Amino acid sequence: MKGRIKIDTELCKGCTYCIDTCPAGVIVIRKRFNKNGFFPVIARHLEKCSGCAMCAKMCPEIAIEVYRNDAEKTRKVRR
Ligand code: SF4
Ligand code: SF4
């Protein structure tokens, strides 16, 4: 199963919980800070994402949306 995540970089506080939690190493820190002065995270290796939603469950800012591809359709599994 393939997954995909969408990160709201303006909500992100750069705590890195999602990086520590992701078993696939999908998420990395962006080098440019956001409007609130935090270095947010971005999805760099989306091809490895399984859609497990662990990252979204850990995010205290609810900044990550997860989508999972089941057969032909993509459905949102978590925000
Ligand atoms: S959904 Fe799972 S595999 Fe995909 S980025 Fe989040 S923790 Fe990693
Ligand atoms: S857990 Fe949420 S707030 Fe923390 S770095 Fe990841 S996206 Fe940003």
Please count the helices (runs of H) and the strands (runs of E) in the chain: 2, 5
What pLDDT, on a 0 to 100 scale, did the predictor assign at position 75? 66
Q: How many A from CA of 23 to the centre of ligand 2? A: 15
Report the mean per-residue pLDDT for the chain. Answer: 92
Contact 49, 4 (CB under 8 A): yes
Which residues fall within 8 angstroms of residue 27, CB to CB, at 6 or more apart?
5, 7, 18, 19, 41, 42, 43, 44, 55
| The Cα angle at residue 38 between residues 7 and 35, in degrees rounded to 5 | 80
What's the confidence (pLDDT) of residue 11? 98
Total domain count, the chain? 1
CATH of the domain at 53: 3.30.70.20
Structural domain range at position 11: 2-78
Ligand 2: nearest atom to the Cα of 40: 8
Q: What is the pTM of this model?
A: 0.91
What amino acid is encoded at 53 in this protein? Answer: A
